[in-house]
Amino acid sequence: MPDFDLICIGGGPGGQKAAIQAAQLGRRVALIDDGARPGGASVHLGTVPSKTLQEISRFLHRLKKESQQGLGVYAPRRFSLGQLLARSAVVIGIEEDLAEEQLLDLGVQLFQGRGSLEGPHSVRYTGRERQETWQSEFILLATGSQPRRPPEVPFQEGFIYDSNELLAIKRMPDRLCVVGAGIIGCEYASIFAGLGTEVHLFELGDRILAQADLTISGILMDAMRLSGVQIHLNDSVTGYDKKENSIELTSTRGERLEVDQVLISKGRLGNVEALGLESVGLKATDRGVIPVDSRYRTAVPSIFAVGDVIGPPGLSSSSMVQGMYAARAMFKGEEPRFTRQSMPVAIWTIPEVAMIGPTEEELKEKGIPYGRGMATFESNTRSLMTGETRGLIKLLFSLEDRRLLSVHICSDKATELLAFGQAVLALQGTIDFFIEQIFNYPTLSGVYRSAALDALRQHPLS
């Protein structure tokens, strides 16, 4: 008999949910993670600390706006980084406690250290004081990812960071340069701008957030510029000249810019180097991505992989669901009930961006007949009350049966608003559902009805 039914290598969102699901199915589970406590980069370096900081920045943004509107609200001009990250430490501690308690209550055995493959059913555990080889019916690889560090960039503590290092900076920058306008780059650019930092955002492409719907990307870019972010499109940084307390940057256009610190946000690479993939004949791509099938099974039937190591979308939310379904595939033979297109994407910029389903550009490219309904938040009564009127919702639907195809939002609290549209989409509802239902008034969700009415004006019911 093997030592375990499942060994999870990696204690982030994917590994945790797979371990929990397998334990709930009565299986013997071990979870190996090199952190002092489970949670992975999501809890300790990425999702939780950065989103906590976004919430603080968003709150300060609101305070400043109220102060400017003459309400006499005191909005502090500057904060120490320690003050800003104190709340993050509290949230991380609670998340660690909850995760550990749930795993232990279900009987999952937790091991601090590293795990590597020695065979299709064999894992080598290397801890601080011992090494052991265990046998398992199934193995799950969920080791997450790390920021890509281009070799031409002279990373240096105190001046040039990747996204894992940024929240460990010792001093709050007055001037920050962010290189790369993907999800992480845009999030940190808007967060630090909200905290009062002068921010420069460089993107080699012709727009920010290339994976977002073009209209939504444009709305966000306008909002970021209004918040003070200086966006440099079709441009990047090629030279880093360190001064005593600053860095002089040279762009591809030959322009020079002096800043205090630099964040390099050029994508992420899967953590696969120490997994021993070669021992079982597996091979990852040059981006550290392990190929899997629809059930998250690798080319080795007993080995599964989830999360960042299988590529985009690389979100905590998607990793959790992948881990759960991987465990169900192992022990129940279930097929996942969702596709990549049905995965919601949330981006914690200011304002936020949230989306599910294909973009308008993708529908055009595939030749799918579609209709569109849009509404701004400027005419939404609740938005007028909060003062957060910048934003837009776009609903795309099939012209053949009026079924909702996708939802794209850029607004305050967009990440929360998306869930309503996501539910309608999952139930294969039509664009007319939003017209037929009663919305509480005044609420932000009323923009769904406004966008649906816009669609009805353009494409009346026959």
Q: Report in angstroms the alpha-carbon separations of 42 from 146, 165, 353.
A: 11, 14, 19
Higher pLDDT, 41 or 443: 443
Residue 88: predicted pLDDT: 80
Residue 337: predicted pLDDT: 81
Question: End of a domain among 219, 237, 266?
Answer: 266
273 shares its domain with 260:
no
137 shares its domain with 231:
no
Residue 415: predicted pLDDT: 96
Question: End of a domain among 225, 243, 266?
Answer: 266
Contact assessment for residue 29 and residue 19, using Cβ atoms and an 8 Å cutoff:
yes
* pLDDT one-digit tens code per residue, 27-75: 999 999 998 888 887 777 878 888 888 888 888 877 776 665 555 555 5
Q: Which residues contact 96 (CB under 8 A, 6 or more apart)?
A: 37, 38, 39, 43
39 shares its domain with 72:
yes
34 shares its domain with 182:
no
Mean pLDDT of 353-368: 97
pLDDT classification of 80: cutoffs 50, 70, 90:
low
Residue 73: predicted pLDDT: 56
CATH number at residue 374: 3.30.390.30
45 shares its domain with 140:
yes
Phi, psi of 414 (to 5 degrees): -60, -35
CATH number at residue 174: 3.50.50.60
Give a yes or no: residue 239 inside a domain. Answer: yes
pLDDT classification of 76: cutoffs 50, 70, 90:
low
Measured CA to CA, the distance from residue 343 to residue 363 in angstroms comes to: 17
Give a yes or no: residue 133 inside a domain. Answer: yes
Contact assessment for residue 306 and residue 18, using Cβ atoms and an 8 Å cutoff:
yes
Mean pLDDT of 210-236: 96
Question: End of a domain among 292, 316, 340?
Answer: 340
Residue 71: predicted pLDDT: 59
Say how many domains are in the chain.
3
Give a yes or no: residue 73 inside a domain. Answer: yes
Give a yes or no: residue 332 inside a domain. Answer: yes
Give a yes or no: residue 153 inside a domain. Answer: no
Residue 358's domain spans which residues?
Answer: 351-458
| Cis ω for the linkage preceding 173 (within 30 of 0) | no
Mean pLDDT of 112-122: 96
Residue 116: predicted pLDDT: 96
Name the percent of the chain lying above pLDDT 70. 96
Residue 296 forms beta bridges with which residues? none
Give a yes or no: residue 398 inside a domain. Answer: yes
335 shares its domain with 356:
no
Q: Could you tell me the pTM of the whole model?
A: 0.92
**Closest by Cα among 349, 354, 353, 391 to 187:** 349
99 shares its domain with 183:
no
The token pair that represents 402 in the structure block: 């009026």
Mean pLDDT of 277-292: 96
**Closest by Cα among 217, 149, 219, 225 to 182:** 217
Mean pLDDT of 337-353: 88
Least confident of 120-129, 162-171, 358-367, 398-407: 162-171
Higher pLDDT, 116 or 460: 116
410 shares its domain with 423:
yes
* pLDDT one-digit tens code per residue, 142-170: 999 999 999 999 998 889 999 988 877 87
Least confident of 42-46, 103-107, 234-238, 435-439: 42-46
Higher pLDDT, 367 or 48: 367
Residue 77: predicted pLDDT: 56
* pLDDT one-digit tens code per residue, 170-208: 788 999 999 999 999 999 999 999 988 999 999 999 999
